[in-house]
Structure 1
Amino acid sequence: MATVFLSTAKTFLPTLLSTTSSTSPSSSSSLTPPQLIHGKKHNARPELSLCKAVRDSQQPPYPPILTKRGLSISLTTSFLSLVSSQGCSAANAAILEADDDMELLEKVKRDRKKRLEKQGVISSSNKETAYLQDLVYKLSKVGQAIENNDLSAASSVLGPSTDTDWVQKANAAFRKLSSSPEEKSQVDTFNSSLASLISSVIRKDVEASKIAFVSSATAFEEWTALTGLVGQLKGL
């Protein structure tokens, strides 16, 4: 295919050269000037000017000019705006985080102050602590008696009602050592469960006695955990 193409090109090239050489500048000058139409001289410049005017009218009169300096200023402005917005967001987040840290620190300080105050009250309440220690011993004996289904022994420890001496002394300790609503709520639960326990034991209802005992013991343990008395009482 390449050999045929080169052979044809060699044949065509001399013919083209001879035709071109036969047309010389002198022969072209003998042609009738195209500027003479109807015996008058015609100027081609207005036609060229008109074409140029048409081309110019099709283009926007004021094309946008984008220079390196303009592009640099635009990019710099955009970058500074982005950095500024991100910087504000980071600053706001840092402020919020600092506020949270301050609130947490204040809470830790308040809790520590309350614990120290409570420890001071407990240290100065030896009598109330002894009342609560007696409560622990009595609950332990009642639990063992109920486990053995010996409700008579449980009744002898509990007494006939919540007006017994040991219950009144325990409530005196509760009132002195309870400061928060949670602690007072656990005291109410204990007293309510203890009343049910005494009533169930008197009725010889083993199952109800077991349920009431568990409720009483749980409320008391919750209260000692809230007040910080867990380490102060034996048998818990």
Structure 2
Amino acid sequence: MASNFLSTANPFHLASSSQSSLVTPTYAYNPIKCNLKRQLTPCKVVNQPSLSVTKRDISIGFMTSLVLSLSGKGLFDANAAILEADDDAELLEKVKKDRKKRLEKQGVISSSTKETGYLQDLVYKLSEVGQAIEQNDLTSAGSVLGKGKDADWVQKANIALNKLSSSPEEKSEVDTFNSSLASLVSSVAQNDVESSKIAFVSSASAIEKWTSLTGLVGKLKGI
């Protein structure tokens, strides 16, 4: 330990010790002072880095959170924009397909003058049947209905209905109409006014829905 002190001692102190022994206490006191400095200095060194590191950690943590927050928000916005663009593209494609189908349907309807005439006759016949049933005149209703599905106007109407039906929904309404019409013919034949009214409403509703689905609304009078 003494050699360490000597190796690090100030030259001025060494010169003083060789000239007079009176300054020896001063030399003896200096190592203690140095020792005190060495004891105090590390405390400051240790405390200061600790405080500095803590502030740095806080700063890094804050900046990291901020960066992640901003980058996360940007990523979310980017993903949302991509999804929105995909949805818009999908919607646009659907609109194009629907428009194409409508144009094709309109072309078929425009070229189906004879079939449109069959459907107009169907509407007139159903109107006559409805008026007769409303007046409880099932005899007149029966004369219009004739043989039901075997009647000429019913067969022609089905030719038109089948030709102009393309979607499952349209075809389903055609089936509903034929089923309701059969019930109507049966109820009228049995002179059952209430059942005839119910079957008539079902038949007329099916035709009305069918014309709406196919785009024939406004082209047929009485609908």
TM over 0.5: yes
Q: Give 2:160's match in structure 1, choosing from 154, 165, 173.
A: 173
Other-structure match for 1:205: 192
Q: 1:186 aligns with which of 173, 184, 199?
A: 173
How has the CA–CA distance of structure 1 residues 61 and 105 changed in structure 2, closer, same or farther, with 3 Å as cutoff?
A: closer
Tell me how far 1:164 sits from its aligned partner.
1.0
Query: What is the deviation of 1:63?
Result: 2.4
Q: Alpha-carbon deviation of 1:202? A: 0.5
Aligned length: 193
| Structure-1 separation of matches of 2:205 and 2:144 | 19
After TM superposition, give the deviation of residue 67 of structure 1 in Å: 8.8
Could you tell me how far apart the structure 1 residues matched to 2:195 and 2:219 are?
A: 31
Q: Tell me by how many angstroms 1:189 deviates.
A: 0.2
Distance 1:63 1:70 in 2: 10
Does residue 86 of structure 2 align to residue 99 of structure 1?
yes
Structure 1 Cα separation of the partners of residues 68 and 49 of structure 2: 30
Query: Aligned pair 1:127/2:110, yes or no?
Result: no
Displacement after TM superposition at 1:76 (Å): 3.9
Residue of 149, 166, 182 corresponding to 1:195: 182
Aligned equivalents of 1:74 and 1:198: distance in 2?
83
**CA offsets, 1:143-176, max 9 Å, x none?**
0000000000000000023111111100000111
Structure 1: gaps of 5 or more residues: 1-44
Q: 1:115-144 deviations in whole A, cap 9, x for unaligned?
A: 100000000000000000000000000000
Contact 2:148-2:181 at 8 Å conserved across structures: no
Alignment root-mean-square deviation, CA: 3.2
Whether 2:217 is the aligned partner of 1:223: answer no
Which 5+ residue runs of structure 2 have no aligned equivalent? 1-31
Larger proportion of helix: 2
How many percent identity over aligned positions? 68
Distance in 2 of aligned mates of 1:138 and 1:120: 27
**Cα distance change, pair 127–211 in 1 and its aligned pair in 2 (3 A):** same
2:133 aligned partner: 146
TM-score by length of structure 2 reads 0.76
Kindly name which structure, 1 or 2, has the bigger radius of gyration based on alpha carbons: 1
Distance 1:195 1:73 in 2: 82
Moved more, 68-77 or 91-100: 68-77
Secondary structure of 1:79's counterpart equals helix
Measured in 1, the distance between the counterparts of 2:131 and 2:179 equals 21
